[in-house]
A and B are shown apart, each in its own frame.
Chain A
């Protein structure tokens, strides 16, 4: 089956610190990979995505590279801001599974001034 494992939070950082959230996956077939962000009281927003091996998704200073050899899609940001405080979800979809999203458990990130 398909599954996503991401590091448990909460992750607490100071402003301007480097952020890494680990995400690994197992998939039957060739997955597309996503990071979604959820700010308090809001829905999920697509942060970035990658659809094939070695693709790098990037947005708002966040990056993640699709690593097929290590089945990983780690999220990174070089200098976080207080406004980056949110829950981050790693997810995959596989066409053979009807393109349904399989989510990781989410990682809460708290950035302190």
Chain B
């Protein structure tokens, strides 16, 4: 089945130690998103890639970076994790066409990050 895959499902890191979360998709979607979710609150969009174009949200801390080496993969890098960065990180994808009015985002299972 086509899907969005996130690895690992659980990640433990130390305060200040860089960590990378990964997302892959078999949907061949051209848009990939990263969200942060705390305590079953609504997910908060960090940034997204539309093809190779990176789009950062205005309030995303500089501590968060992303890479998209190809259509299938996208990475979230946290350069110096703080205790406040402990959260569920969700990857999502969608297919965006020229002038398409409607997009549907499909989410992966998430990676829960614990910062010690």
- State whether B40 touches A108 (Cβ < 8 A): yes
Residues of B within 8 A of A46 (CB): 104-107
A100 to B47 CA separation, bound complex (whole angstroms)? 10
Q: Interface size on A (CB < 8 Å)? A: 26
| B29 sits at the interface (CB 8 A) | no
Residues of B within 8 A of A36 (CB): 107
- State whether B104 touches A49 (Cβ < 8 A): yes
Residue of A nearest to B112 (CB): A41
- State whether B108 touches A43 (Cβ < 8 A): yes
A38 to B104 CA separation, bound complex (whole angstroms)? 16
Tier of interface size on chain B: 20 to 34
Q: Hey, what's the 0/1 contact readout for A83-106 against B, CB within 8 Å counting as 1? A: 000010100010100111101111
Q: Hey, what's the 0/1 contact readout for B51-85 against A, CB within 8 Å counting as 1? A: 00001000000000000000000000000000000
A89 to B100 CA separation, bound complex (whole angstroms)? 24
| A51 sits at the interface (CB 8 A) | yes
Contact of B104 among A30, A34, A41, A98 (CB under 8 A): A34
- State whether A32 touches B106 (Cβ < 8 A): no
A68 to B70 CA separation, bound complex (whole angstroms)? 40
Residue of A nearest to B92 (CB): A44
Give the Cβ gap from A23 to chain B, nearest Cβ, in Å: 13
The 7 A-B pairs at the shortest CB distance, nearest first, are namely A103-B42, A44-B107, A43-B110, A99-B103, A43-B107, A43-B109, A32-B102
B residues near A (Cβ < 8 Å) are 4, 6, 40-43, 45, 48, 55, 88, 90, 92, 94, 96, 100-110, 112
Beyond A43-B4, A95-B102: 12 further Cβ-contacts under 8 Å?
A32-B102, A34-B104, A46-B104, A49-B104, A93-B103, A95-B100, A98-B55, A99-B103, A100-B48, A101-B43, A101-B45, A104-B42
